[in-house]
Structure 1
Amino acid sequence: MSVHTLHLAYPPELAIIIPTYQEAESVAEIAKWVAAALDGVAWELIFVDDDSPDGTAERVRALARRDPRIRVLQRIGRRGLASACIEGMLATSAPYLAVMDADLQHDAQLLPQMLHSLRHEGLDLVIGSRYLPGGDLGNWDRRRRRMSRLATRIAQIMLHAELTDPMSGFFMIRAEVLHRVVRRLSGLGFKILLDLFSAADAPLRFRELPYRFRARQQGESKLDNAVLWEFLLMLIQKLTGAWVPIRFIAFSLIGGIGVVVHLAVLWSILELFGLPAFAAGQATAALVAMTSNFFLNNLLTYRDLRLRGRALIRGWLSFVFACSIGALANVGIANYLFQETRSGWVLSALAGILVGAVWNYAVTAVYTWRRTVNAL
């Protein structure tokens, strides 16, 4: 009986969840590292792939044919690191769950110590920290280090937890803790650890262990300035309460940017260029604002459902159409309240804006992104 077959005779004690996108060149190496680090442990390795065009899922299947402790969940039509981690953690019976990146920057040699701490110290989770003595940020430049430290300070204040590295993507958690909070997770963005701490109804018992953040070995980093946007959204949601969908918060913030764009374009037409046609200027400004809102939402709010190619054109058309109806509803509701109920122009206008925003969000979520993506 082979070692791999022997492991299959027992349920896994530890599942390692690896979210992937365009990581075909890294999966074999990380599987080798995990196997070497966890000798003597019943483990399984779950790659959750967001339909990578470079064949990452097929590469994992090839590994799984040689080692049945390895498997892949291939997601079609959706993306996102946090949601991938959640799906992977829910797809196993293992009592302990680890999350690691696929870029070989997290040190698999720390996994046995994490598991030992969870087994024997009565903890909910163990976190790999780059900021404890003995840890290191690797080859990050000065700008990225400053941004990370700023985000860390803000997260510490918001979470009321003495975490040295709340932005870490390397941790191990008891499955029972995940199952207790999973329905309160937002599932958006890159920082699943922040999501877990925010969703917990009681302070989590945790320990941090230092590790040295390695340089990326293959591929390109998926982190960009949009991560800061998602971090801001998570903080706003924590302040406003989980009853406000995080996508609606993003949609509304971008809508506010659209108002500024609208006024800037209208001012340019009327004042800068001296064109007298207000109605034409208003229509042009509205179209420019809707277009900017569409592309910003496609880039940020719906980055996990991002439209490309022909779908981008169809999405833009449906977005403009839906928002045009929303604008009519905005004006109609505001005018009715102002004329019939004497609510005052401020309350009437705010009510119209709210109705228009909810309409635009609800309709475009279904007909611009969901339907267009599913039609591909």
Structure 2
Amino acid sequence: MQGMPSASSSTIPATAAPVVKPKPFLLTPRQGEAARALMAYVASLPLEGADARLLAVVVTIRAARSGVGNLTGQDLRSLRLADPEGAVGALAALGWRRQEALLGEDLVTPVGILVPDLSGRPDPPLPFGKVMRSRVSGWTMRTMSAKPVRKASTAARLAALFLAAHGPADGYGTLPADLPDECRAVLPELLDKGFLAESDGDRYLLSEAVRHLSGARPPSDTPSLVRDDPEAGRLSWDAWKDGASVALRRHVEAVERCPDCALSTALVSEAFMRKAVPAQFDEKVRAAHDTWEAKFPHQGPAAAEFAAAFRASHGHGPSVKQLCKGMGWGKMSRELRIHVIRGLIAEGWLTNTDPVPWTLRPGRAAARKGVPGTSGATAAVVRPR
């Protein structure tokens, strides 16, 4: 019949492109305005170089409410500055105080850095509320640890903050007038690494992978990462953190901001906020544990050493899954992983602050046997709220 394909012709069916669910936006439009105010404030500071400005971003957002920003030596190290000593010295030249302690050997004790311009003023330059400050602080860390720029230069990560704060989620943005020169110079790097989809003169387009970081998105009903759920009586993530102890919040932020783990806020919040449910080990799980033990005997010392090394590198302990995967124990069910780790805890090779996640560390048996890296590692890090 005319118009019909012949019997010898072949038709290749069209393949539908996979549907990629967009990531939830981190900032509301008002929080995006606050992010731009933060970057404008840092741009106005008489600083030279990306190292000093990136450190100033982190200190400023933490000091926005009280004038004092708490950082640890581990926080400074995680920024991977090319010249941390020079950056700390540059802040001292502004009259900021006490940040020199960040360069000592103590990596875990918070250092309260005083920013005089943000302290005791009736008209503070960054009038952020508690939730606003927390949201923008989380946005800065998530932006700097976004996959395209996680291992990029300091200038590229600083530029990513400026461009994400000013960049629309649904169109082209214009380079901010106060974008530092060192950031303009690395625009090709951001394009090459996939943070930008396009860059032409003063116009740029955020790549699809990072548009959830946009601070200039239009108002919408797009849900934020964690919303209040009155029916379930569930607190929002920000409210949960505001009610946590100082030590627990410090631990939470170490996990949230870890550039090596780069965990989503949704995953971290769920892990900390969910109720602990006792694991049930049936006969199948116990049999699988016996098989594992026969294949991997005497794993206690190695597991303790891994936990100590992980903690020293990340600033927090591994999760159960991270430890099992790092030890190379192969594919394991969740129940088997928990069974294995509880056994190592019972034997004293590991300990944790149950039920707080990411608190695994060497136990007393490891310390007694002198397992490398376990000296002083058995001290409790946090307590449940």
In the superposition, the TM-score normalised over structure 1's length comes to 0.31
In the superposition, the TM-score normalised over structure 2's length comes to 0.30
Higher helix share: 1
